[in-house]
Chains A and B, each alone.
Chain A
Amino acid sequence: MIASRLLRTVDQISYWSGKTFAWLILALTFVVSIEVFKRYILNAPTAWIFDLNNMLYGTLFMMCGAYTLAQAGHVRADFVYIYMKPRGQASLDLILYFLFFIPCMLGLIYAGGGYAADSWRIHEHSTVTAEGPPVYHFKTVIPVAGALVMLQGLAEIVRCLVCLRTGAWPPRLEDVEEIDVIDTQLGHSQYVDEESRRAAMEGAKAIDEAARHRSVMEEGVVHEQAIRDDEKRP
């Protein structure tokens, strides 16, 4: 019970941070578009935009790491992993969290902290242009992001322990999924009939579910099922 509440809290922190910083992509889009327009149409470039772009991108990239970990979205070469039972997956993960994850995250927090502190001390400014904008707040992102990923990593370790005890992965928070595109695209479709739309959505869900839990799909070959249904009908 305590474990599940802890997992929920930490997941929510990661979700919140990831979703907040994900808005930077919108800012980045507008900054790039406006600057391209000014630079190439109006012939009036702004010098510090280059640094601003880097800051927006770098912050986005670093701060969404914890969210990705909470979503189990980090890339895995899972061609062996998917054939393991959840307990096997959890024990492998647990060992490697201690072997790889914790040392490198501690290193990142420690090293990034020193790096950012140095930058604050000298009030470092960007050297891309003559009067670049300050970069110390940008460098502070490194230890902060490291700490967030570390926190989520500890939650993942708890998750592994729960899985080792119960034999099933504890649930993650619900969120939008990439496969929701199918619903969006087919929801108001005029050319796909009701039944194949439903079959498609269910099939897509099954595929996504299998991918999310890193397991082999046993069934869910939707189209064959749909065709068999079609054949059964007179």
Chain B
Amino acid sequence: MSDPSLGLVMLSLIVVAIMMGYPTAFTLMGLGMVFGYIAFWVPGAHWYDNRVFDLIAQRTYGVMTNDTLLSVPLFVFMGYIMERAALVDRMFHSVQLAFRRVPASLAVTTLLVCAFWGIASGIVGAVVVLMGVIALRPMLKAGYDIKLASGAITAGGTLGILIPPSVMLIVYAAVAGQSIVKLYAAAMLPGFFLTFLYLVYILGWAIINPKIAPKLPPDQVSP
């Protein structure tokens, strides 16, 4: 089998193998190893004398000394410390107080808190679950439309991977060989613009159809 066809077979097998649900790391590594071994096979050489072994060690070392990926554990660590700091419910409360006169104030608050967490942590983690816990129940109790309530939480929760600093962009930069700073600069506007558009959408919907987001009674501004 020629090298290009071997590559194509491997590529299609990768898709199939990943779909099966085995850990992706070992799937890729195993397939690379098997196909590399076949591709570098030299007739007459010892079975243990194959160039694929050199490649494994070199690529592993290459990833271990990748100074772009170095920032991923640091970012994850920062996000965890932020998560463990137990700030979300107090923050939700204070932002809600600030926005209590705005239509659909709870949904707006949810979105703003999520956007802030996107800036602060850069990972989508337990905070989305937590927002669901803290925000969904008050919203449903206040008589919000369930589509609006759940949509605000899930849409807000995914902002974290777009708004810099985001771990996704670091990994992309490392794989594609691009500059992280440029990628962050490029993601800055779309991230905040998307937040802005979500806000416009929620506010517009709530103004056109006030039934979906009833105003909170004045004595019950806290969740």
B26 touches A77 (CB 8 A): no
Within 8 A of B (CB), among A211-234: 214, 223, 226-227, 230
> Closest approach, in angstroms, between the C-beta of B128 and any C-beta of chain A?
11
Nearest residue (CB) in A for B56 is: A111
| B45 sits at the interface (CB 8 A) | no
Within 8 A of A (CB), among B65-119: 65, 67, 69-70, 73-74, 77, 83-84, 86-90, 92-93
A100 touches B129 (CB 8 A): no
State which of B20, B63, B89, B140 has its C-beta within 8 Å of the C-beta of A185: B89
A80 touches B21 (CB 8 A): yes
Within 8 A of A (CB), among B1-44: 17-27, 29-34
Interface of B is mostly: helix
Of B54, B74, B127, most A-chain CB atoms within 10 Å: B74
> Closest approach, in angstroms, between the C-beta of A115 and any C-beta of chain B?
4
B129 touches A207 (CB 8 A): yes
Within 8 A of B (CB), among A68-112: 69, 74-82, 89, 92-93, 96, 99-101, 103-104, 107-108, 110-112
**A114-B53 CB under 8 A given contacts A92-B22, A185-B130:** yes
| A37 sits at the interface (CB 8 A) | no
Nearest residue (CB) in B for A191 is: B93
Report how many residues on chain B are interfacial, defined by Cβ distance under 8 Å.
58
State which of A60, A96, A185, A191 has its C-beta within 8 Å of the C-beta of B73: A60
Within 8 A of A (CB), among B37-64: 48, 52-54, 56-58, 60-61, 63-64
B18 touches A77 (CB 8 A): yes
B90 touches A190 (CB 8 A): yes
- Please name 15 pairs of A and B residues whose Cβ atoms are closer than 8 Å in the assembled complex, sorted by A: A61-B63, A62-B64, A74-B25, A107-B52, A115-B57, A115-B58, A185-B87, A186-B130, A190-B89, A191-B89, A191-B92, A192-B134, A204-B133, A223-B132, A223-B140
